[in-house]
Chains A and B, each alone.
Chain A
Amino acid sequence: MIGQSPVRTLIAHAVLIVGILIVAFPIYYTFVASTHTLQTILRPPLPLLPGGEFLRNYTEALFGGIGRIGGVGVGTLLLNTTIVAVGIAVGKIIISILSAYAIVFFRFPFRMTFFWLIFITLMLPVEVRILPTYKVMVDFGLIDTYAGLIIPLIASATATLLFRQFFMTIPGELVEAARVDGAGPWRFFFDILLPLSRTNIAALFVILFIYGWTQYLWPLLVTNRNDMNTIVIALRKMVSFADADTQWHLVMVTAMLAIVPPILVVVLMQRWFVRGLVDSEK
């Protein structure tokens, strides 16, 4: 076995610890910076230990509003981003589970054509179709709305394919048993398919939530008003070319707050899929 001898264990741990430090240090340093005054940050060297401004900085960012982004508080940004990320994740899951359901369990004309059309869109990322999409959003008057932020991103070929693969593993006998038991298409979907898919849904939710949370290009295009920004866009806008113009302490606070929700989602949902995995049928 690897790691049997103490020396090996030591080396393995040393490597891991160094790895963790490399990953964690910038985050720690951001946190440290978020607890000092602007003056301390601007006067190098930056201290390695947290300062005493934690409460003031965080309160100011969350509730006070930040000058460079039109006085919008980080609270609003978090709310916007949460709505967008949850909207994208839930929307993608609903659309893809329904399309996979149709493709796997129903026989209709051009079924495979539709499947391949969906499949082909995998090769067209958002960026490729961004101009026409933007034009459509402008024409519908959806600039600076949640709908405009969410809808163009909620079709998902990847999630559809994942659900399709999963549905194909469901034994035909189970589908037939449900038909004999008097379950129509909707009942089958809600009573059987959905509960059986819950681990897949949980895993996808985490991935898609983070995907939505970290969107950059699309929110940048489709929002003009500061109070409709997502946190990533706002963070970018808060940084000016001139150092003196940038409220670095608030930037650091915003950066810290921006990573909290994804971490929460991962941690909370992780418990969920572990339970799902333990529970799940082969």
Chain B
Amino acid sequence: MATVDLKDVEKVYGGAVKAVKGVTIAIPDKALCVLVGPSGCGKSTLLRMIAGLETISSGTVSIDGKVVNEIGPTERDIAMVFQNYALYPHMKVYDNMAYGLRNRGMPKDEIDRRVKDVAATLELAHLLDRRPRELSGGQRQRVAMGRAIVRNPKVFLFDEPLSNLDAKLRGQMRVEIKNLQRSLGVTSVYVTHDQLEAMTLADILVVMNAGLVEQMGAPLDIYEKPASTFVASFIGAPPMNLLPIVASGNGATLADGTDIGMAAPANAVTLGFRPEDVDVVMNADRPEGAVALPARVEAVEPVGAESFLYCAAAGNRIVVRVSGRATAKPDDDLRIVAKSEKLHWFDQAGKRV
């Protein structure tokens, strides 16, 4: 079907605002690539450049090996699902789905067959005669998906398609999108600011920050080896604990001089560990090859299957995830232990060391 290649893509708005500052991504055929990042980091701009809705200031976008910089959205053979669905309010569901096909001059019976097929797959068959305003949010979302699928394009583009749904529906649709994408085998680019969506959907995860790619790769690789403090704190919820440290002699201490219990690599100024990678121990022994920090529990949040302990250690907030019920109570003093293989170290520039 199609590969999508971005090469040094830049976008400058109005000669001044640099929204995308040189992005190179290669998306193989049938892959689902998720662009994730905080609001305003240029994800939508990048997606819209792939769609052809925004001009490309420099660099190239290729679909299926062909540079499409100068080609309009219609000829790029892409389909897009918008955040607010962008259904035509005056058209019935059927016509919303058929409109793009009609504009391409497809014969009526072929259109009818395709629309009905897709409507059946998406369980929209009984809604074909309704107008968008007579549908629930979830149904509109499905129609928007259907409008994209019916076109059978080379590439699907999604711009935060689930952000207007409630949490439960969002979870269902996420699974459904993943399944549909896999069964249709259409190369897709999916934009979201939600790290959970990003982690669960992506074949290739691209973490963006301020117009640049911070890290790119398989979601779990990124989770396990975040390339920077930005990625470390963006991917994962609750985010990774990050503590400033100072190297001293053959050990290292927190900013206030508390010994962390082991040496830091050269250049490291930040220590990170994930909430689930820590043990809390009540006794005072010092385990070997691990960071051990004295901490006081400030709050306990039981969520059911797990609990979060919010602890204070020398002026830093540390979140700890324990499974099941927590035995610790607020104001307990305990020791936080993180094994050395679970530690992440970052240098002055925030890069992983």
Residues of chain A whose beta carbon lies under 8 Å from any beta carbon of chain B: 171, 173-174, 176-183, 187, 191-192, 195-196, 281
Contacts and interface: CB of A to CB of B under 8 A. Distances in A.
Interface in B82-113: 82-90, 99-100, 103-104
Q: Secondary structure of the B side of the interface?
A: loop
Interface in B187-211: none
B86 A182 contact: no
B135 to A, nearest CB: 12
A176 B82 contact: yes
A162 to B, nearest CB: 19
A-B pairs, top 7 by smallest CB distance, nearest first, are A281-B89, A181-B100, A182-B103, A173-B86, A177-B86, A182-B74, A173-B82
A180 B89 contact: no
Contacts of A176: 48, 51, 53, 73, 80, 82, 86
A180 B79 contact: yes
A179 B73 contact: yes
B72 interface: yes
A215 to B, nearest CB: 34
A54 B88 CA distance: 53
Interface residues of B, number: 25
Contact of A180 (B90, B100, B133): B100
B78 interface: yes
Nearest to B72: A179
Contacts of B100: 180-182
A177 B74 contact: no
Contacts of B147: 177, 181
A173 B48 CA distance: 11
Contacts of B82: 173, 176-177
A169 to B, nearest CB: 12
Contacts of A173: 82-86
Contact of B53 (A174, A179, A192, A195): A179
Contact of B51 (A180, A182, A192, A195): A180
A182 B104 CA distance: 7
8 contacts: A173-B82, A173-B83, A178-B88, A179-B72, A180-B51, A183-B99, A191-B99, A192-B88
Given A179-B73, A281-B133, A171 B86 contact: yes
A22 to B, nearest CB: 43
B103 A181 contact: yes
B99 to A, nearest CB: 5
Contacts of B104: 182
A196 B53 contact: no
Contacts of A174: 86, 88
A187 B103 contact: yes
A78 to B, nearest CB: 35
Nearest to A281: B89
A109 to B, nearest CB: 16
Contacts of B89: 196, 281
Interface-central residue, A179, A182, A192, A195, by most chain B CB under 10 Å: A182
Nearest to A173: B86
A196 B86 CA distance: 14
Contacts of A195: 90
Nearest to A187: B103
Contacts of B86: 171, 173-174, 176-177
A60 B83 CA distance: 66
A173 to B, nearest CB: 4
Interface in B40-83: 48, 51, 53, 72-74, 78-80, 82-83
A196 B103 contact: no
B90 A171 contact: no
A183 B79 contact: no
A187 to B, nearest CB: 6
Given A171-B86, A174-B88, A180 B103 contact: no
A167 to B, nearest CB: 14
Given A182-B74, A182-B100, A191-B99, A177 B80 contact: yes
Nearest to A198: B90
Most chain A beta-carbon neighbours within 10 Å: one of B80, B89, B104: B89
A196 B80 contact: no
Given A191-B99, A195-B90, A180 B84 contact: no
A136 B78 CA distance: 53
Nearest to B53: A176
Contacts of B48: 176
A147 B254 CA distance: 88
Contacts of A181: 74, 99-100, 103, 147
A192 B99 CA distance: 11
A232 B88 CA distance: 44
Contact of B103 (A171, A183, A281): A183
A182 B89 CA distance: 18
A173 B87 CA distance: 9
Contacts of B51: 176, 180
Interface string B120-147: 0000000000001100000000000001
A187 B74 CA distance: 13
Given A179-B53, A196-B90, A281-B90, A171 B84 contact: yes
B341 to A, nearest CB: 47
Contacts of B88: 174, 177-178, 191-192
Contacts of A191: 88, 99
B83 A180 contact: no
A180 B99 contact: no
